[in-house]
Chains A and B, each alone.
Chain A
Amino acid sequence: MIYVYAIAEREEAPLVASGLGGAPVERVTAGSLAALVSREPVASVEPSERALWEHEAVVEEMMDAGPVLPMRFGSTVRDEGSLRDVLRTHSDEFARALDRVRGRVEMGLRAIGEPAGTPSPAPAASGRGYLLEKLERRQAAARTADAIDPAFAELAVASSHRLLPSEGVVFTAAYLVDRSHIDEFERRAEHVDVEREDIELVPSGPWPPYNFTRHDDA
Chain B
Amino acid sequence: MSELPARHRDVTLVELVDRLLGKGVVISGEITLAVADIDLVNVELRALIASADAIGRRVP
* A90 interface hit (Cβ, 8 Å): yes
Given A47-B35, A77-B30 in contact, is the A110-B11 Cβ separation under 8 Å?
yes
Contacts of A211 in B (CB 8 A): 19, 23
Q: Give how many B residues have a beta carbon under 8 Å from the other chain's beta carbons.
A: 38
**A169/B44 in contact, CB under 8 A:** no
Secondary structure call for the A interface: mixed
Which residues of A have CB within 8 Å of B23? 70, 72, 210-211, 213
Which residues B3-58 have CB closer than 8 A to chain A?
A: 7-8, 11-27, 30-37, 40-41, 44, 49, 52-53, 55-57
Contact across chains for B1 and A76 when beta carbons are under 8 A apart: no
Complex partner residue of A200 from B12, B30, B33, B59, CB under 8 angstroms: B59
Chain B residues with Cβ under 8 A from A45's Cβ?
Answer: 34-36
Scoring A71, A77, A166, A207 by chain B CB atoms within 10 A of each residue's CB, the highest score goes to: A166
- Contact flags A135-166 to B (C-beta < 8 A → 1, else 0): 00000000000000000000000000000011
Taking a contact as CB atoms under 8 Å apart, the answer to whether B30 and A73 are in contact is no
Contacts of A86 in B (CB 8 A): 27, 30-31
Which residues of chain A are within 8 angstroms of B15 by Cβ–Cβ distance? 108, 110, 204, 207
A193 CB–B CB distance under 8 Å: yes
| A positions within 8 Å CB-CB of B | 1, 4, 6-7, 43-47, 49, 52-53, 55-56, 69-77, 82, 85-86, 89-90, 108, 110, 112-113, 165-169, 172, 193-194, 199-200, 202, 204, 207, 210-211, 213
B residues engaging A (CB < 8 A)? 1, 7-8, 11-27, 30-37, 40-41, 44, 49, 52-53, 55-57, 59
17 example contacts (A-B, Cβ-Cβ < 8 A) are as follows A1-B34, A43-B34, A44-B37, A47-B44, A70-B20, A71-B24, A72-B22, A72-B23, A74-B33, A75-B31, A76-B33, A77-B30, A166-B49, A168-B55, A194-B1, A200-B55, A213-B23
Beyond the given pairs A75-B32, A113-B56, A204-B11, 14 more chain A to chain B contacts, judged by CB atoms under 8 angstroms and listed by A's residue number, are: A43-B34, A46-B37, A70-B19, A72-B20, A76-B32, A76-B34, A110-B11, A110-B15, A166-B49, A167-B53, A168-B55, A194-B1, A199-B59, A200-B7
